[in-house]
Amino acid sequence: MIQAVTKTNFSFPRQKGTYIGKVRDVYNIDGKYLVMVVTDRISAFDVVLPRGIPYKGQVLNQIASSFLDATADIVPNWKISSPDPMVTIGHLATPFKVEMVIRGYLTGHAWREYKSGKRILSGVSMPEGMVENQKFPSPIITPTTKADEGHDLDISREEIIGTGLVAAADYEALEKYTFQLFERGTRIAASRGLILVDTKYEFGKKDGNIYLIDEINTPDSSRYFYLEGYDSRLARGEQQKQLSKEFVRQWLIENNFQGKEGQVVPEMTDEFVIQVSERYIELFENITGSNFERAGITNVQQRIEKNILRALDELK
């Protein structure tokens, strides 16, 4: 069984601090740059699961890196370089305390809310008479808070602006960028035989300018359906064939875990871990149109550190 990278503990020159997220280990360099190591940790329902997924970090980092390059004409982004398969180095920006969730289809959290009888999500109305996985008449933005700990919460545009969480002018720009990024991602996905179902984008501000930050259009932040057979499966009321982390969430739900107090994460067998890894690799190859080249599995931490140090030296 290939060992997953679930933790790093580097000490770089000019390092000012470290942030350990659910999946990413982020190193602050000189208050100017971020070194983001995308580990193989996996989270669901805002809980980090006990076992890492081999190659997951590489998949996420390389997909995000390619999409940052493919959308740089829409909005500036934080990326400077990707010196290692699991690492991106970029500009440090002050994050907005909201996540811009955009949905093209009624599925996942939106469907669970809809099925319970709700017709308003984050202040946005959803039409009556829809079925699971049906396409919305047009994409909807359903923001959430960005919690440092615990669960993100649905929040409306009016609440965001009214409470001063984001200034009105900035929020309007975030909405515009979100629609444009989703449209670009949708077109790229369609060219690969996929549907970009929903995703989230995060933004920050640096020197008065808005930057796209963090990951973009990865299976951790997005949901994809296969385009072929979508209509027939929808008509028959069948589940869609999808590439996302949703199947991990469904597995957890089936095993009585949704991150609620008192619930215990079910055992993650070697077989299940390998299955999840292969699903991540499958998405990489589908969405990028490229073969996935597995990075070396020996001395991974040393490789990562060496590549980061070389890249930081070039930033001096």
**Percentage of the chain lying above the pLDDT 70 cut:** 98
What CATH number should be reported for the domain holding residue 215?
A: 3.30.470.20
Token pair, residue 301, equals 């931490």
Q: 64: which residues sit within 8 A by CB, 6+ positions away?
A: 38, 88, 214, 215, 216, 217, 218
Instruction: Return the pLDDT at 192.
Output: 94
pLDDT tens digits for range 123-161: 999 999 999 999 999 999 999 998 666 568 999 999 999
Would you say residue 264 lies in a domain? no
State the Cα–Cα distance between residues 182 and 99, nearest whole angstrom. 14
pLDDT band at residue 63 under the 50/70/90 scheme: very high
Q: Is the pLDDT of residue 1 over 80?
A: no
Q: What angle do CA 264, 265, 267 make, to 5 degrees?
A: 120
Would you say residue 256 lies in a domain? no
Would you say residue 125 lies in a domain? yes
Global pTM? 0.89
Instruction: Return the pLDDT at 149.
Output: 60
pLDDT band at residue 231 under the 50/70/90 scheme: very high
Instruction: Return the pLDDT at 52.
Output: 96
Q: How many domains does the chain have?
A: 1
Selection from 170, 159, 155, 161 nearest residue 206 by Cα: 170
Q: Is the pLDDT of residue 316 over 80?
A: no
Instruction: Return the pLDDT at 148.
Output: 64
Residue for token pair 């444009």: 180
Would you say residue 285 lies in a domain? no
Mean pLDDT value across residues 259-278 = 94
- Tell me the residue type at 37: V
Would you say residue 192 lies in a domain? yes
User: What average pLDDT is seen over the chain?
Assistant: 94
Mean pLDDT value across residues 230-259 = 91
Would you say residue 301 lies in a domain? no
Range of the domain at 103: 95-244
pLDDT tens digits for range 187-202: 999 999 999 999 999 9
Mean pLDDT value across residues 48-53 = 95
Would you say residue 268 lies in a domain? no
Would you say residue 28 lies in a domain? no
